[in-house]
A and B are shown apart, each in its own frame.
Chain A
Amino acid sequence: MSNALLKTKLYIPKPRSGFIQRSKLLELLDEGLQSGKPFSLIAAPAGYGKTTLVSNWFEQLDCNQAWISLDEQDNDPVKFFSYLIAALQKVDINMGQEAARMLSGSGMLPIQAIVFTLLNEILTISKRFILVLDDFHMIKNKSILQAVQTLLDHHPPCLHLVMITREDPALSLPRLRVRNQMTEIRMDDLRFDLAETGNFFSTSASIKLKDEEIAALEARTEGWIAGLQLAALSIKGWAPEQVSEFIKSFSGNHRYIIDYLMEEVIERTDPEMRVFLTRTAVVDRFNAELGDTLTDQCNASEIINQLEQANLFLIPLDNECRWYRYHHLFAEFLRTELPKSERIAIQQRAAHWFTNNGFPEEGIKYALAARAYDFAGDVLKTLATRVFQRGEVVTLLDWLNLLPDEFVDTNSEIASYKAWSLFLLGKSEEAANFLQRTEQILLLNNDPLAEGRLLALRGWIANYREDPQTKEIALMAIEKLGDQDPFFREIALMSLGHAQRKSDPMPESTVTLYMVYDTARNAGHMFTCLAALLDITMNLVIQGGRRESIELCNQALNQYVDSQGKPLPMAKLLYIPLGILQYEGNNLEEARYSLEQGIRASQSVGLNRILGGDAEQTLALVYYASGDIPKAWDLLQKAKANTDSKAFPIIWDRFKAFEVHLMLKKGDLAGAMAWAQSSNLNPEDNITSFKEIPYMVIARTLYRAGQYEKAWEILNNIRQFDQERGRYGRLVYVNIVSSLVLQAMGHQQEALESMKEALNFAAAEGYVRPFLSEGSEVKELLLAVESVRPEFITSLLGHFTHQSEKLRTPLTSSTSSLRDSQMIETLSLRELEVLSLLATGLSNEEIGVKLFISLGTVKWHVKNIFGKLGVASRTQAVAHAQQLGLLKDLF
């Protein structure tokens, strides 16, 4: 749990002694809970006993309970969720662990992802529990309201939510009402009736009143409990005549009840007590030590005792009698008793006390209220980096917005935080404008760290805008920041890495991103760490560092796990590069699993667009290669439809190109040509990393159409681009297609050279699929160069024999016989391994021992093998496999 959380906010209030039992209302709450309603709403103005009712209910209930007393500061989603998770963990320590890890250092993470993670964790709880959100009217933040709505919509059966509020929350309550899913207790239900009023005076307040006096008080207060309590305080200890006189004058005048009674009550206190009340009412919570500080006295504990005995609206906030606050209504009145100048002096004292006693956030709050900007600014500087890391950017910006412009403009460090907060909250235009203004301030102040932070931000914005100066700016930021500020250093390095990816050889970007990874790992910044790993592994996919990348993905998936050992949602994004690499190694089933997982994870964390559609495109290829063409097509159509072609034109173009790639595979040459001619891709244009795939599709189309020279020209451009940028993973594809084109042009020797180059690299890094996916002509070329990498080629040819992918292009239809493979489904590598061991006569148990897998798994594989080969016994399977040539590449 973050140490910035206040325990007092999670305290379950205890009903005070002498509380009037409100059996009807308690029954109503009980009924709702018993009948399985997910929600109770208690909505009424201040002073109607809402909190008391629920805390009384809690005392009688035998089930797990959690409570959050909300305040204005909880409008920061990260704060709200931190408290929510902390409250849930009081019920079950295991709940919310995954969500909490997502929350830490995730300023840019969408809340919805955290809600769903949390929901899933709540669903694992079997024992019912109640969660109270007290003072929910404080919450105005839309994403929090939406999150609570989601929680209500999915209402996990183990959770009963109670909301205590002064106004109806902006949630879709009618829906819950109609479905009879909520218990509702409102002002009219909460008013004391005549009997309760009488009961209150005789037992709780121990005041004897005549029936007509009780009736008069009930009528005048309309059963408002705060009014009745104040009336009781006013008349306590008076003689009966005085009491009747008081009730008469009270009933007969028009003054607002609280205004009238509060004065009576305050007048009855002695001067010392009055000073204590008015000064401690300035703060939202106080303890004896703070009380002494604010009153220049040393008798606060004593006064607190007296207040408790006198029943003066003092509410304890913990079990240890350390922290207290006043009832909101009472506090509001007390505050007007204090002249403004005095209030500011008290706020200043409070600011220092809170800061010096380990509550700097409250320190800032009172410093800002007292307009002690220098002090607020100083405390803010000590907190800023931590607040950024926790992702509480809303809180930070709230503070910064309360500082006057003149102050921010003359303080470069504060200015740099403001610019970043604006940017992180999606106000990038405002941030950019702010940056421009702050540049002048920087010239006046010699503050390299602040300058570094602002440059890091400029670099990040420049990168978004595809500004060619990104790299330069990022480098300057890194230089200014030095080793002083790891958080912003990571950010600056990250934008450098992204810029290098566009302009430099890939390895340079990868080296930079490794630096981000190391810095973040040492600093414990999990979010940045995983973001860097994702970038590194995706870079390696392009660079052809297949084995290194697989290793990294597997490591991270094993390392960043929740309590049950499952990868964290952010870590699951690594399934995307892993799936692409598995596809390239022709492990189709594994690739399918990984990519489906990765796509789901990217949707849940809202990052689906950032990865440029690589995951969907590869998954479509996996479906295609597994023979499920409609599914491949469907997936691409959906991905394309979900991509806004105006906002993400490059990604949309890539999806379109991929669609054509599949059309071509299916043999629709005319359709592919039509696209190639209408697309705005011009062979004379510069190749870019995003356009490489569309250009490859054009090259393949031209090849199929017999326009070899044109295809060759484009391939050469791509080859040059890939060679310059160290994109060796891509070069494998380029070399294979080039080999086909050269062969068709009659340049046999060069065709073989190109194939050899592809083979040498592919053999070292384990590429299989690029050879299979370009069609059966590749097989003939492979046979011609068999001596280069005999073992590797043998295994490739084996894959060719049983691959199910069928090319129906006009060119291949007459030449190939292997299209008519007798295999319906491809065997996975694991299945081939099992099959080869079957052929040696080993038993299932022996195979299990040999492959380090369980007997059950062996049986499962054997069953799948039988199914795919269409056989019923081991002997049949081996015989059939030999017929198909499946066993030769394994011996």
Chain B
Amino acid sequence: MEYYEIIIQGHIDQRREDWFAGLKITQLPEGKSLLAGEVADQSALHGILNRIRDMGLQLLSVKRKN
């Protein structure tokens, strides 16, 4: 398990956490949202990134935290 922080453009409702494999959604200033949490493996991470793509969301950054 690895901990990831993903930042996307736009505020999204916390009800959508299911979309992102349970990552926690926090709304940031300047209209950004933070998706953060444990990701099972690289496949799971790519699944989340695909979901961001499929939802037409703009991806701003992806960071792995130690």
Contact = CB atoms under 8 A, between A and B. Distances in A.
B38 to A, nearest CB: 20
Interface string A258-292: 11000100000000000000000000000000000
A343 to B, nearest CB: 10
Interface in A246-266: 253-259, 263
Contacts of A166: 53-54
A328 B55 CA distance: 8
Interface in B1-49: 9-13, 15-16, 18-19, 27, 30-33
Contact of B11 (A47, A137, A226, A256): A256
A258 B16 contact: no
A36 interface: no
Contacts of B56: 45-47, 224, 226, 258, 329
Contacts of A263: 13
A328 B56 CA distance: 10
B60 interface: no
Contacts of B16: 259, 336
A255 B12 contact: yes
Given A255-B10, A256-B10, A259-B10, A45 B53 contact: yes
Nearest to A46: B56
A256 B55 CA distance: 10
A167 interface: yes
A260 to B, nearest CB: 8
B33 A256 contact: yes
Contact of B10 (A226, A257, A332, A336): A257
Interface residues of A, number: 21
A718 to B, nearest CB: 56
Contacts of A332: 19, 54-55
Contact of B54 (A46, A253, A254, A259): A46
A458 to B, nearest CB: 32
Contact of B57 (A226, A253, A256): A256
Contacts of B54: 46, 166, 328-329, 332
A726 B32 CA distance: 80
B11 to A, nearest CB: 5
B4 to A, nearest CB: 20
A254 B31 contact: yes
Contacts of A255: 10-13
Interface string A166-201: 110000000000000000000000000000000000
Contact of B53 (A167, A256, A258): A167
A46 B57 CA distance: 9
A336 B11 contact: no
B17 to A, nearest CB: 9
Contacts of B27: 254
Interface string A704-729: 00000000000000000000000000
Nearest to B18: A336
A467 to B, nearest CB: 36
Contacts of B12: 255-256, 259
Contacts of A46: 54-56
A304 to B, nearest CB: 25
A332 B13 CA distance: 14
- Classify chain B's interface size: 10 to 19
Nearest to B29: A254
Considering residues A253, A256, A332, which has the most beta carbons from chain B within 10 angstroms of its beta carbon?
A256
B55 A336 contact: no
Contacts of A254: 10-11, 27, 30-32
Contacts of B53: 45, 137, 166-167
Nearest to B58: A45
Considering residues A226, A254, A255, A258, which has the most beta carbons from chain B within 10 angstroms of its beta carbon?
A254
A757 B63 CA distance: 82
A46 B9 CA distance: 16
Contacts of B30: 254
A258 B16 CA distance: 12
Nearest to A222: B58
Contacts of A226: 56
A167 B52 CA distance: 12
A253 B30 CA distance: 10
A329 B10 contact: no
Nearest to A329: B56
Considering residues B13, B30, B31, which has the most beta carbons from chain A within 10 angstroms of its beta carbon?
B13
Given A254-B31, A256-B33, A259-B16, A329 B11 contact: no
Interface in A233-257: 253-257
A120 to B, nearest CB: 36
Contacts of B32: 254
Given A46-B55, A256-B57, A259-B10, A336 B19 contact: yes
Contacts of A328: 54
Nearest to A166: B53
B20 to A, nearest CB: 11
A60 B10 CA distance: 38
B43 to A, nearest CB: 11
Nearest to B51: A332
Contacts of B31: 254
A340 B12 CA distance: 20
Contacts of A258: 55-56
Interface in A328-383: 328-329, 332, 336, 340
A45 B57 CA distance: 8
Given A46-B56, A226-B56, A259 B19 contact: no
Nearest to A227: B56
A226 B57 CA distance: 12
Nearest to A45: B56
Nearest to B9: A256
A787 to B, nearest CB: 80
Nearest to B30: A254
A582 to B, nearest CB: 54
Nearest to A328: B54
A332 B54 CA distance: 9
Contacts of A256: 9-12, 33, 57
A259 B11 CA distance: 8
A338 to B, nearest CB: 10
Contacts of B19: 332, 336
A256 B54 CA distance: 14
A445 B10 CA distance: 56
A271 to B, nearest CB: 19
Considering residues B10, B32, B56, which has the most beta carbons from chain A within 10 angstroms of its beta carbon?
B56
Interface string A211-242: 00000000000001010000000000000000
Nearest to A258: B56
A45 B11 CA distance: 18
Nearest to B28: A254
Contacts of A137: 53
Contacts of B55: 46, 258, 329, 332
A256 B9 CA distance: 7
B15 A336 contact: yes
Contacts of B18: 336, 340
Nearest to A337: B15
A336 B11 CA distance: 16
Nearest to B15: A336
Nearest to A224: B56
B8 to A, nearest CB: 8
Given A166-B53, A255-B10, A258-B56, 16 more contacts: A45-B53, A46-B54, A226-B56, A254-B11, A254-B31, A255-B11, A256-B9, A256-B11, A256-B57, A257-B10, A259-B10, A259-B11, A263-B13, A329-B54, A332-B19, A332-B54
Q: 8 shortest A-B CB distances, which residue pairs? A: A254-B31, A256-B10, A45-B56, A255-B11, A254-B11, A256-B12, A46-B56, A259-B12
13 contacts: A45-B56, A46-B55, A47-B56, A166-B53, A166-B54, A226-B56, A253-B11, A254-B10, A256-B11, A256-B12, A256-B57, A259-B11, A329-B56
Interface of A: 45-47, 137, 166-167, 224, 226, 253-259, 263, 328-329, 332, 336, 340
Interface of B: 9-13, 15-16, 18-19, 27, 30-33, 53-57
